[in-house]
Structure formats: C-alpha cells, structure tokens
Structure 1
Amino acid sequence: MVRKQRSFRRTNVIGWIFASPWALGLLFFYAIPMFASIYFSFTTYSILQPGEFVGLNNYKDLFHDPLFWKSIYNTIYFAVFFVPLSIFFGVALAMMLNLKIKGMSVYRTIFFLPTLVPQVALAVLWMWLLHPNFGLVNGMLASIGIDGPPWLGGESWSKPSLILMSLWGIGHAVVIYLAGLGDIPDEYYEAAEIDGASWFQKTKTVTVPLLTPVIFYNLVMGTIGAFQQFTLPYTMTKGQGTPANSMTFYVMYLYENGFKYFKMGYASAMAWILFVIVMALTALIFVSSKRWVHYQGK
C-alpha cells in the first residue's frame, strides 16, 4: 500500500512538472493579463502612467464615440456576409474535393496552398489585383469592355472586396469538412440510392444533415474569427481604415486606441465589450444548435 502511494505521488509530481510550462504560460500570459484588463478598463491607464480610477467613464465615452459605432457596423457587416459565404463555399468545395477521381490529392493540395500564404503577403497581393487603375482584375474587365469598380478605393466596395479576399483562405475549413464527409458511412448513400434518390436528394437528406456537427464547429470558429478581423484591413489601409473609415474594424480601432494613442484603459473597455458580444453570439449559436445539428446515432 505504501509503495502504491509513493508511486502515485511520484507520477503526480512528474505529471505536474511536464504540465508546468503550459500552466505557467496560461497564468502569466492569459489569466493575469485578462483580469488586469478588467481593472484597467475602469482607469485612465496609458502604459506609460498608472492612471486614475474613473469608474464607468470609459464605457460611457465609448457609447458616445461615432468611430466606435462605425467599427461595430463594419465588423458586423463583415461577419454577416463572410461567415455564411465561407460555410457555403467551404462545404461545396469539400464535396467536390471528395469525389473519387484521378489526381484528387493534387487538387486538394492546390486549394489548400493559399492558406499557407501569410496574411500580410496576401494583402499586398490583393491590393495589386484589385487596384482600381492598374489592377489585374479591372484590366481583365476592361479587355471585355467592362468598367471595373473601385474595389478597395471605394467606400461601398471596400468591405465586399475584403470578404472576397477572406474567402481565399477557407482551405482550413475545407480540410475539416473533408474529414466530416469521410466520417459519413457509405451505407446511408447506398440506402438512398436503393430508394431512387437523386444526387440533390442525397445531398439534402444525407450529406448536409450528417455534416451539421462540422458546420456547427466552423460556424462558431468563423464567427469568433470574423469579429477579430485585423491583419488584412490594417495592412491594406496602413491602419487608417480608409476610405471614409469603411475599413475600420473593431479590433483595429481597439489596437489604435491602445498602442497608438496609449489609451489602454479605453482599449480595455473595448476588449470587454467585444468579449461580451462574442460570448453572447456563441451562446446563441449553441442554444440554436439543438434544432439543426444532427449527430449520428441520435
């Protein structure tokens, strides 16, 4: 009995030793900064100075800040259009890449390669492609007699252009969809064929329902990622959010306040508002999932 206790203690000690780097990293780089930001959101902390306690003033000022509301509008606009489109095209592309044809591994590699490009390089590439005067896209449109839109140079086209650019990187989601498609038993399709189901009917009654757990996962992750949009618009506009702040996204404005204007208390308040919004949306998705997510065997 004594030997078993010693062995158990020794195993625990060894386990904690191996887990300590992760535990310390979680504590010092996530937990402590997270709880510190709660306090900072009630102060005038500016990184260079400790700041004074101002209560809810930062939150009150945010609700009277026009650029704050503009950044929320831009972010919601992006999320509302990008997330559904990424799911639709991701599922469609995964279904095509799941076909049993020769050379499919090559096609899968080709569609996944864009996700390996750093976002800064991707932004520079698309800035050239969508340049209103010298861009390749408008050049191709001009060759067939069509005047291309201003794309990133126009207020009404800037966010649709960003959505188009972001869809370039759905390869990660496609890999997950492919895994979900591979997990669907062939027996379901064989039974549907015996009943005389067409391709569309099999997709509607077998593929999509059994793929809903994967769609649910990508919906949650896509929504969280959409509200954290930063690198592409920041790189393309050099942090200015032009034209007419149509590319000023929430996290961009948060970053500007915290690290450009050194209004860290103000930025901390923005961070917690974003946290509440994302948590509320995530909870809403989880609650609604009971109605449309179907698991095998249930």
Structure 2
Amino acid sequence: MSSHTHVLRAKRRRSALTTAAFMSPWLIGFAVFFAYPLISTVYFSFMHYDGFRPPTFSGLKNWSYVFQHYPLFWPALRNTLWLVVVMVSLRVLFGLGIGMLITKIKTGVGVFRTLFYLPYLAPPVAATMAFAFLLNPGTGPANSILESIGLPAPGWFNDPSWSKPALTMLALWGVGDLMVIFMAALLDVPKEQYEAAELDGASPWQRFRFVTLPNISPIVLFAVVTGVIQTMQYYTQPLVAGKVASGVIQGAGTQFEPGYPDKSTLTLPQLVYNLGFQRFDYGSACVVALVLFALSMAFTALLMRRKSGLMQAGD
C-alpha cells in the first residue's frame, strides 16, 4: 500500500513539474512584467523618492497629498470617468452600428470596409493634430461649415465644455477596430435563427434583441472591457490636443502643464507622467498609478459580474 502511494505521489510530482515547465514562460512574464512592477509601485507609494536620492519611508504622506492637496487629481479623475462612461459606450454603439450597416451592404463592401478602417491606422499624434486644426474655432473648416448653415460654432478644444466631446468625436472617427470585430461576430450569427424569428413575425428590433445580441454578447463584453482599459490609459490624444489648441510649442527647457483648457482634457495617466517625470515625485505618481489600477480592476470585475448574471438569468 505504501509503495502504491509512493508511485502515485511520484506521478503527481512529475505531472506538476511538467505543468510548471509548460507554464514557465507565462509565469516568468507575469512575475517580471506584472507582479514585480505592481509590488514596486505599492512600495514606492509609501516612499519619498525623486529618482536621484535613495527612497525614504514617508508613510501615508503621498496618499494624503494626492487625495487632499494635489489640485489636479480630482479634475483628472472626473475627466477619466467621463471618458470611460461616455466615450467607451459611444464607441461600442458606433462600432456595432457601422458593422451591422456594412454587413447589410450588397455591393462595394470592401470599399466601405476599407474607408471605415483606414482612420484607425492613422498615428494618434497625427490624427489628433489634424482634428485640432479641423476644429480650430477661428480658421477650422468645421466651424466655417456650421456658420454657413446658421448653426452655432463651438470652441471645441479651446472650450472646456466642448473639449471632451471633441475627443469623443476623434475616438469615433477611429472606430475601425471595433467595426472589424463586430463584423466578424455578426457574420457568425446562424442565419437559421433569423429565419425562424422572421417566420414567428419578429420585428427588426426583436430580431436584434433576441437573436443578434445574445449571439454577439461575448464580443460586446470584450469590446467594453478592452475599451475601459484603453481609456484608463488615455494619454496621447488629450495631451496633443491641449498643446495644439493652446498654441504651445514645446522645446528644450520648456514645460507644458497638461489639461488645457481649464483642466478639461486632464486624465490620470497624464498625472502619472506629470508627477513622476516632470516633478520627480515618484511616490505620488505611484499613488495615482495604483488608483488607475484599482479603477480598471473594479470596472472589469463589475462588467464580468454583470455578464455572468445575465447569462444565469438567460439560462
């Protein structure tokens, strides 16, 4: 009996070692690129560290400074949450709508698919600069067209109430990635289900609600989760838009305070860069980075829980 137990233990040990060997690339990558940076970020959030002198323990001073005394944190948090809720929702709806439209087109599908996908390939800096010039309140063609038809001309990136909608328009312009994903999901929906729904007298909205949406719901969840994560890292477009709209030309020895106009384009990733690499306050930058991480995890967990609840309700 003991010999048989010893053989079983040896087999289990070999199986565990084999599994660990196959998982080792992932485990090493997880440890080096996720676990170690996360632990280091938590460690430095309790330290006073400027990158030149050794870090010294400061307790909760960095946390207190960010949440109570740093004037840019709460505007950046509000802007980031606004972009997550509004921009991600509109991108998913717009990408799904464009995908459904193209799947219904009978001729010229390749041309329309290319036209809608090309903006996604534009470099973020070039696309943002082009939008900033197009939406220039004084000389941009967008306001000229609006004025010619008698509509009010917004200030866009120069107006705090219009800067985030302008960034949302830029995100909708480059929605080609979601369009392609949704097209693939829509084309994979069984046609037999549409035919059965039509025989039952279902309206187009009912076919979408009870046939299309349940079949593509995993792709919708994927688009929302990845959109939230990408928006939590939203840095380049608002920074470039603020620089172009403000007329600031950054060169050697100059420093641009992000958030123009009136902190309306300020996001949490910009604060991480501003605190860590412009003010050399790495402890406070780590606090903001941890807030970003916690928000991303909370949004993802909420969406995953919502999805599993809907699946259980459907069952």
TM-score relative to the length of structure 1 = 0.88
Evaluate the alpha carbon distance shift between residue 293 and residue 81 of structure 1 in structure 2; reply closer, same or farther with a 3 A threshold: farther
Report which stretch shifted further, 271-280 or 126-135.
Answer: 271-280
1:277 aligns with 2:298: no
Q: Aligned residue for 1:41? A: 45
1:200 aligns with 2:205: yes
* Counterpart AA for 1:39: Y
CA offsets 1:209-258 (integer angstroms, 9 cap, x no match): 22211111111111121222111011122352111111111111111101
Q: Aligned residue for 1:32? A: 36
Counterpart of 1:244 (choices 262, 276, 299) is: 262
Q: Aligned residue for 1:57? A: 61
CA offsets 1:98-131 (integer angstroms, 9 cap, x no match): 1250111221111111100010001110011110
Report which stretch shifted further, 236-245 or 50-59.
Answer: 236-245
1:178-257 to 2 correspondences below 5 Å: 178-238=183-243, 240-257=258-275
Evaluate the alpha carbon distance shift between residue 79 and residue 183 of structure 1 in structure 2; reply closer, same or farther with a 3 A threshold: same
Give the 3-state SS of the residue equivalent to 1:232 in structure 2. helix
Q: Aligned residue for 1:156? A: 161
CA–CA distance in 1 between the matches of 2:184 and 2:303? 22
CA contact (8 A) 2:157 2:242 kept: no
* Counterpart AA for 1:248: L
1:267 aligns with 2:267: no
Once the 2 structures are TM-superposed, how far is the Cα of residue 28 of structure 1 from its aligned partner? Answer: 3.9
CA–CA distance in 2 between the matches of 1:183 and 1:294? 23
CA offsets 1:109-168 (integer angstroms, 9 cap, x no match): 111111000100011100111100011100111222333110110111111111111111
CA offsets 1:254-298 (integer angstroms, 9 cap, x no match): 1110111111111011111111121112111111112335899x6
Q: Aligned residue for 1:4? A: none
CA–CA distance in 1 between the matches of 2:213 and 2:89? 15
Counterpart of 1:169 (choices 169, 174, 183) is: 174
1:121 aligns with 2:126: yes
Report which stretch shifted further, 150-159 or 100-109.
Answer: 100-109
Which runs of 5 or more residues in structure 1 are unaligned?
1-7
1:79 aligns with 2:90: no
CA contact (8 A) 1:212 1:293 kept: no
CA offsets 1:12-59 (integer angstroms, 9 cap, x no match): 7xx87x975x76655444443332122111101112222211111111
CA–CA distance in 2 between the matches of 1:83 and 1:294? 25
Q: How many residues align?
A: 287
Evaluate the alpha carbon distance shift between residue 23 and residue 279 of structure 1 in structure 2; reply closer, same or farther with a 3 A threshold: closer
* Counterpart AA for 2:294: V
Evaluate the alpha carbon distance shift between residue 79 and residue 89 of structure 1 in structure 2; reply closer, same or farther with a 3 A threshold: same
CA contact (8 A) 1:79 1:226 kept: yes
Once the 2 structures are TM-superposed, how far is the Cα of residue 79 of structure 1 from its aligned partner? Answer: 1.3
- Root mean square deviation, CA, Å: 2.5
CA–CA distance in 2 between the matches of 1:163 and 1:192? 36
TM-score relative to the length of structure 2 = 0.84
Give the 3-state SS of the residue equivalent to 1:156 in structure 2. coil
Once the 2 structures are TM-superposed, how far is the Cα of residue 200 of structure 1 from its aligned partner? Answer: 2.5
Report which stretch shifted further, 45-54 or 121-130.
Answer: 45-54
